[in-house]
Structure 1
Amino acid sequence: MNMIYHYFEGSWTRYQDVTDALNHLHYPWTGQMTEISQLRDNILKLETREDYESIWGSHIYYQNLEDEMDYEDFQFYLDDQHLMLMDIDVPKMLQYSEEELLRDKSKRSALDTFYIIIKSTTYSYMNQIDEFENKLHSILWEVKKRNNIKILDQVAEADHQLLLCKSQIVTVTELFMMTEEAFGKEIKESKYYHQMEARVKRARFLINAYEEEIDALLDFENLVSSYRGNEITKTLTIFTALFAPATLLGAIWGMNFKNMPELDWQYGYLIAILAMLGVTYGIFVYLKGKGWMGDLLDNKTDRKNKFF
C-alpha cells in the first residue's frame, strides 16, 4: 500500500493509497499518479510550459553502503501549488513523526516545503559522510603502523564507499538543479533555497576533499609497492650475480669428459671452493664499489612506524 501525503495551501492531507487519492483529488496532474507510484530508484522528470511547470519522479533517500539492495526511496510530484509524496517512511526520512507532519500549518509554498523535505533526506547522506571521515582517518594512521595488503583492501573499500556517497550527492544536486530549471530565478528569493544550496555545496566540498585524500593515499600505496618491488628485483639480481661463478664452475665440473686432469689433484675441492669464494667476493666488492648494493645491507630490524 502506497501512503500518499498531499501538501496544498499550507497544510497536509493523508490518503491511504492511489485509489483513495484519486477519489478526492481532481487536478490535471492526478492522472499521473498511477505512473508515478510505479517509479523506483532515482528517476526524475521535468515538464515546462508557458504557464505550467512541474517535476516528478522517484528519489533514493537512504542507501546502505554495504548492501546494494538495502535502500529506501519515495515518489513525488511538485508544481507551484501542489506537493505530493508517496510511499515514505516519515520518521526515517524526515526525522519527525507523521503526526507532526500532518499538524504542520506553516503556510509555506509547495516549493519551499519540498526544499525542507529534500534537505531532511540528506541527513542520512551527511551521516554516512561523517562515518566515512572517521574510517578514512583511521586508515591514514593505520598505513604508518601496519602497511600491508589488508590496508590496501581497506583503502579500495573506502574508495568504493566514497563513490557511492558521491553518486547519492549527485542525484540530490540534480534534483536541486531541476527545481531551478523548472521554476526560474524567483525561487532564489527563498531562504529554504539558500539552505538547500549551502547543504549541497558542503556535501560536494566534503566529497571532493575526501576524494583527493583517497587519491593521495592510493598514490602513496603505489609508491611503497613500487619501491618494495624494486627492492625485491634488485635483491634477486644481486643474488644471481653473486652466485653466477659458482653456478658456472659447477656446470663445468659436472661435465664427464674423458680427460679430467683435476681427478688427480690432491687439493682439487679446496682449490675449487676457494676459487668460487674469491670470484664471488670480487663481484661483491665490485657491486659495492659501484653503489649497486643499495640499502640491502642496512640494519632493518626496527621496522615499527616505517613506511619502507
Structure 2
Amino acid sequence: MNTVTSDQWKWYQFDLEEADGIADIIKDYQYPRDEWFCQQLQKENSNHIQVDVIGESELIYGSLIYHKKSFDQKNYDSFHFYITEEFIITAGIDLKILENTNHERMIERMKQAANTAESFFILLGEIMKKHLNGFDQFESHFRELLWEVRHNNNIDVLDDIHKARYDLLIWTNLISSVREVTMGIEEAFHKKINQTIQYQRMCKKIEIGLTLIEQYQKEFDALIKLEEVVSTHRGNEIMKALTLLTAISTPLTAFGALWGMNFKGMPELDWKFGYIYALILIVLSTIAIYLYLRMKGWTGDLLKGRKKNSFFK
C-alpha cells in the first residue's frame, strides 16, 4: 500500500490482493459497503459506479476501465475506487500506463487540490489525456484509409474501414466510462466542485473526446455510403451487361437449336471437320465474352475500378 497525504485528505493506493487492508480503512473511517466493495475487486474489466449519502457525507465507489492493451475482449486494464470527503482509495491502478504523464507532478497537483473530488479529477484528467493522445494514432490510420479509398479501393479497404469503425466504438466506450464517473462525482459532490478549475478542465476534455467521436462517426458513415454507391453502380452495370449478352446470344441459341435438329436435308452432314469448327467457335466465343467482362472490370472485385483514381470507371 502507498499513501499520499494532503492537509485535508489521504489517498490510499492498494493492489487488488490487499482487500483486507481496504476493508479495514473503510471501517476505520466508519463508512459502509466495505464488504461489497472488496467483493467487487474480484471482478476484472468492469465499469460501474454507485453514489451514496451517509448523513451529511457523500461517497462514490465503483470501477473504471482506463486502458486497452489491444482490441481483444479481455485485454483491458481497470481499477477500483472509493471516494469520500476524507479519503480516496484506489485498487489495481498502474500509473506506469499513463506514459505521457509526469507522475510526481501529478501527485503534487493532487496534494494541492482543495478536496478529494477535485484531486480525483486530476487523475481522471490524465486518463482522458491518454485517450485523446490515442486519437492521434487513430486519426493517422483514418487518413490513410481515406487515400486508399481514393487510389486503391477494393474489398480489403472496405474491411479495414469496418475494423477502424469498430475501433472507434472501443474509444467511445472508454471515454463514455470516464464521463459516467465524472457525472457520478458531480452528483455526489456538486456543491464543492461545480466551480473548480479541475472540474471544468475535465468537462472540456470529455467534450473534446465526444466531439472527435461524433465527427469520425459522420466520416465513417460517409465512407460506407460511398462504398455502397460504388457497389450498386457496378452491380447495375453487370446486370445491364448480362441483359445485353442474353439478348445478343438469343439468335445464336436459336441457330444451335436448328443445328441440332435431325432433318434429312441438312448441308452440314457432309462437313468433315464440322465438330472441330463448332468447338473452336464455342471456345472463341467463350473467351471473347470473358475478355469483354474482364475488360469492363466485372469479373473481380466490385469496388475496384479499371481506371486509377476513379470510383465508377
Alpha-carbon distance in 1 for matches of 2:255, 2:265: 15
Q: Which amino acid aligns with 1:109?
A: N
Secondary structure, aligned partner of 2:112: coil
What amino acid does structure 1 have at the position aligned with 2:29? Answer: Y
Corresponding residue to 1:237 among 243, 249, 252 = 243
Match of 2:229 among 203, 217, 223: 223
Tell me how far apart the structure 1 counterparts of residues 269 and 96 of structure 2 sit (CA, whole Å). 96
Corresponding pairs, count? 276
Bigger CA drift: 12-21 or 140-149? 12-21
TM (norm. structure 2) is 0.77
**2:228 & 2:206 partners in 1: Cα distance?**
33
Q: Which residue of 2 aligns with 1:85?
A: 90
Aligned residue number for residue 152 of structure 1: 158
Residue pair 1:80, 1:110 contacting (<8 A) in 2 also: yes
Shift of 1:124: 2.8
- How far apart are the structure 1 equivalents of 2:196 and 2:39? 31
Q: Match for 1:66 among 71, 82, 85?
A: 71
**Range with greater deviation from structure 2 (95-104 or 49-58):** 95-104
Q: Within 5 Å, give how 1:176-255 maps onto structure 2.
A: 176-255=182-261
What CA distance in whole angstroms lies between the structure 1 residues aligned with 2:209 and 2:261? 75
State the Cα distance separating 1:77 from its structure 2 match.
0.6
Contact 1:79 1:110 in 2 (8 A): yes
Alignment correspondent of 1:285? none
Contact persistence 2:13–2:89 (CA under 8 A): no
Counterpart in the other structure of 1:19: 20
1:133 has 2:133 as partner: no
The alpha-carbon distance between structure 1 residues 24 and 56, as it changes in their structure 2 partners (threshold 3 A), is closer
Question: Structure 2: how far apart are the matches of 1:220 and 1:67?
Answer: 29
State the secondary structure of the residue aligned to 1:69. Answer: coil
Say which is worse superposed, 101-110 or 124-133, in terms of deviation. 101-110
Question: 1:66 Cα deviation (Å)?
Answer: 2.9
Query: After superposition, where does 1:246-265 map in structure 2 within 5 Å?
Result: 246-256=252-262, 259-263=263-267
Q: CA deviation at 1:151?
A: 0.5
Q: In structure 2, how many angstroms separate the alpha carbons of the residues matched to 1:164 and 1:264? A: 72
Going from structure 1 to structure 2, the CA distance change for 1:254 and 1:88 (only over 3 Å counts) comes to same
Select the residue among 45, 57, 66 that pairs with 2:50: 45
> Secondary structure of the equivalent of 2:194?
helix
- Residue 28 of structure 1, CA deviation: 2.1
TM-score under structure 1 length normalisation? 0.78
CA distance in 1, matches of 2:67, 2:82: 19
Which residue matches 2:38? Answer: 34
Match of 1:55 among 56, 60, 75: 60
Q: Which amino acid aligns with 1:219?
A: K
* 1:188-227 C-alpha deviation (Å, 9 max, x unpaired): 1111110000000000000000000000000000001111
Q: 24-33 or 230-239, which moves further after superposition?
A: 24-33
Partner AA of 1:27 in structure 2: Y
Q: What residue is the counterpart of 1:284 in the other structure?
A: none
Change (3 A) 1:163 1:302: closer
1:153 is displaced (CA, Å) by: 0.6
Bigger drift between 137-146 and 61-70 goes to: 61-70
1:163 is the counterpart of 2:169: yes
Structure 1 residue 14 displacement after superposition: 5.1
Aligned partner of 1:121: which letter? Answer: I
User: How far apart, in 2, do the equivalents of 1:103 and 1:112 lie?
Assistant: 10
Q: Which amino acid aligns with 1:46?
A: V
Q: Could you tell which deviates more after superposition, 89-98 or 143-152?
A: 89-98
Amino acid at match of 2:215: A
SS of structure 2 residue aligned to 1:305: coil
Name structure 1 gaps, 5 residues minimum. 274-295
How far 1:105 moved relative to its partner? 3.6
Displacement, 1:98?
6.8
The gaps in structure 2 that reach 5 residues or longer are 279-295, 297-304
**Residues of 2 paired with 1:149 and 1:218: CA distance?**
12
Offset from partner CA, 1:126-149 (integer Å, 9 cap, x none): 122221111111100111111101
AA partner of residue 197 (structure 2): K
Which of these two proteins has the greater Rg computed from alpha carbons?
A: 1
Q: CA RMSD in A?
A: 3.2
Q: How many Å separate the matches in 1 of 2:121 and 2:106? A: 17
Deviations 1:6-54 (A, max 9, x none): 6662454556733345556601227345234334321222223552322
